[in-house]
């Protein structure tokens, strides 16, 4: 079973992402959804996700703060930034994090899902 963490303060975006992945990935998936990056950071090492989808613009702790503080204890999840920002500075900054596999624009689409999970 794939373990997937979604970190996004927008419940509609989280809902859409979960449904698209569930519908297009053949393997069973277990989702953990967090509306707060801070709460995700506190609980993530107990989850040991295979995949992590991270929004950048969130109150209190943003996606960059999360990446700066996240140290996986057991295995490295594949981390994808899933953001509505199309700012070139954000895209360039994401490429500086070795743990980030790819920067994706919201909403998640089938093409992205196939490239991530196949």
CATH for 42: 3.40.50.2300
Number of domains in the chain: 1
What's the per-residue H, E or C state across the chain? CEEEEEECCCHHHHHHHHHHHHHHCCCCEEEEEECCHHHHHHHHHHCCCCEEEECCCCCCCCHHHHHHHCCCCCCCCEEEEEECCCCHHHHHHHHCCCCEEEEEECCCCHHHHHHHHC
Question: What band does 105 get if pLDDT is binned at 50, 70 and 90?
Answer: very high
Domain with 10 in it = 2-117
The predicted model scores a pTM of: 0.95
Q: Which whole number is the average pLDDT over 6-31?
A: 96
């Amino acid at each position: 079973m794939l373990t997937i963490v979604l970190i996004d303060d927008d419940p509609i975006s989280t809902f859409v992402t979960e449904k698209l992945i569930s519908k297009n990935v053949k393997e069973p998936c277990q989702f953990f959804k967090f509306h707060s990056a801070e709460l995700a950071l506190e609980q993530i090492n107990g989850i040991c996700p295979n995949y992590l989808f991270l929004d950048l613009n969130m109150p209190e702790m943003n996606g960059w703060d999360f990446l700066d503080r996240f140290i996986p204890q057991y295995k490295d999840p594949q981390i994808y930034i899933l953001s509505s920002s199309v700012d070139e500075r954000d895209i360039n900054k994401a490429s500086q994090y070795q743990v980030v596999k790819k920067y994706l624009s919201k909403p998640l689409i089938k093409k992205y899902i196939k490239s991530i999970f196949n």
